[in-house]
Structure 1
Amino acid sequence: MSDLAANAVLTSLARSPVLAHFSQGGLERLAASGAWLALQPGEVLFQAGDPGDAVYVVVDGEVEVRNSTPDGRDVRLVALGPGALVGEMAALDGGPRSADVAATRRARLWRIARSAMLAALEAEPKAAVALVIELSARLRVADGAISDKTVLDLAGRLARLLLTEAGASGLVALTQTEIGRRLGFSREKVNRKIHEWVREGWVEVSPAGIRMLDPTRLEALIEHQLGT
């Protein structure tokens, strides 16, 4: 591996909320023990049920964690960018993968075998604690998403997504197809609800995405459905 590639790997490892807790020597050992993996847009890294034989670090690009609905539609659970750790849960317990992971755009990942990761965590307990904290945070997010699906209907979940994804300008740069994938609804249902809000003056639709005009209305809708 060239010096430039080695530096890219070390930088990505150090960017991870978990791996940043390793010593420099620990990071160098993880870098030396791994291997490159390149993915093209849409290419699958692993699928639910595959063996948890490795953990991956996103060096550049983006992957998404997703599952499938009973009617065969993909629903995105979370997107992971540079520095993110991928597949750590199955790599920890050696069980099967619990979801699919695929590239949303060209991506390079650093593959670390399960045995190498476990040895590194055993050698540096501080990093092991950081991993537990990271997994706990992800579990909280997952619990929140499950709660939303239980309590909020399409309108509530769509409002939550728009409020979460909006930039400083109030613009959500997602297509309605992508929004539907994230929420687990068809594009047609998402389109109808958005255009209902356009008529109400809550949002506007442009080639750049969906811009919120009255976010307080969306916040009130969520609070009403949650009973707060």
Structure 2
Amino acid sequence: MLVDTGSGDRAIERSAQACHRGRSATPCAECAARPVSVCSALAVPELRELEALSQHLTLDKGQALFRQDEPGDAVYNVIEGSLRLTRLLPDGRRHIMGFALPGDFLGLALAERHAVSAEALGPVLTCRFGREDFAALLEAKPHLLRSLHARTGAELMLAQDQMLLLGRRTAEEKVVAFLLGLRNRYARTGRSSVTVELPMGRQDMADHLGLTIETVSRMLTRLDRAHLILIVPGGVRLLDVERLERLAAS
């Protein structure tokens, strides 16, 4: 169950502040998430238009950026931190659809209501853009719209990969594919490392992969004992990427 932070007076709304306040002339140009974000399509002079529409929102661990079925009145760019994207099923079960990392845009579908809830796994910083303002910017910047379409296509491929992940693979293959996929996502943000940070808990991994927490723990222990990974505080170290990739592809 997600932590309830309230609706009309959520803490993230109280902490919202204008992005341009007290900052340099082109802060978006210096944003670490820009190279992997939709806004990378904009030239530096165009970024000032984006900045004029944006607000910074900060979250603490457990706070919701938005909740399932709330009006989709904004889009968000994740600058720092990570969030889990959760959907409550009609029978009350929770399914984790995925995890948002720096560079990810949330709410790009511009749907009337959010299909998922987005909850911070730790301290999070995002940029918020009003839906109507962002839609007007897309109309005025066709190259930004093309970037959005490319990102949407990539997200569709990830959704298809998730269907495969939950379908025919064994529990061990699911865990390995998840770790490799997370490693690749980190690499795209410039965080290339043999150690894969796991901001989500094992229960979150289990809910995402359609497994039990006991199975996830058992698979990680098995991989550790096989010297394929090394479990370290806050994540895992990938000791034999080639063998892991062969296992995930089997």
What's the secondary structure of 1:42's corresponding residue? Answer: coil
Structure 2: distance between partners of 1:189 and 1:15 = 37
Structure 1: distance between partners of 2:54 and 2:157 = 30
Provide the residue aligned with 1:3 in structure 2: 22
Q: Give, as a single letter, the amino acid of the residue that structure 2 aligns with 1:11.
A: E
Instruction: Note if 1:67 corresponds to 2:87.
Output: yes
Structure 1: distance between partners of 2:195 and 2:249 = 22
Mark the structure with the bigger radius of gyration: 1
Once the 2 structures are TM-superposed, how far is the Cα of residue 130 of structure 1 from its aligned partner? 1.0
RMSD: 3.1
2:75 to 46, 51, 55: 55
Q: Which has the higher helix share?
A: 1
2:54 to 20, 34, 37: 34
Checking the alignment, whether the CA contact within 8 Å between 2:223 and 2:229 is kept in structure 1 is: yes
Kindly tell me the number of residue pairs found equivalent between the two proteins: 220
Provide the residue aligned with 2:214 in structure 1: 188
Single out whichever of 41-50 and 153-162 deviates more from structure 2: 153-162
1:160-206 residue CA offsets vs partner (Å, 9 max, x unmatched): 12344469875444364454344232221122233344555555545
1:158 to 163, 175, 178: 175
Structure 1: distance between partners of 2:243 and 2:36 = 37
Query: Structure 1 18/71 Cα, relative in aligned 2: closer, same or farther at 3 Å?
Result: same
Instruction: Note if 1:44 corresponds to 2:64.
Output: yes
Structure 1: distance between partners of 2:104 and 2:193 = 27
Q: Give, as a single letter, the amino acid of the residue that structure 2 aligns with 1:78.
A: F
Query: Structure 1 218/40 Cα, relative in aligned 2: closer, same or farther at 3 Å?
Result: same
1:148 to 152, 162, 165: 165
Query: Structure 1 158/71 Cα, relative in aligned 2: closer, same or farther at 3 Å?
Result: farther
Structure 2: distance between partners of 1:113 and 1:76 = 24
Single out whichever of 94-103 and 169-178 deviates more from structure 2: 169-178
Checking the alignment, whether the CA contact within 8 Å between 1:26 and 1:120 is kept in structure 2 is: no
Gaps of 5+ in 1: none
Task: Give the 5 Å matches for 1:68-87.
Answer: 68=88, 72-73=93-94, 75=96, 77-81=98-102, 83-87=103-107
Checking the alignment, whether the CA contact within 8 Å between 1:156 and 1:221 is kept in structure 2 is: yes
What TM-score does the superposition give when structure 2 sets the normalisation length?
A: 0.72
Once the 2 structures are TM-superposed, how far is the Cα of residue 108 of structure 1 from its aligned partner? 2.2
Checking the alignment, whether the CA contact within 8 Å between 2:55 and 2:127 is kept in structure 1 is: yes
Provide the residue aligned with 1:109 in structure 2: 126
Structure 2: distance between partners of 1:15 and 1:217 = 31
1:50-71 residue CA offsets vs partner (Å, 9 max, x unmatched): 2211111223333332335766
Structure 2: distance between partners of 1:208 and 1:86 = 25
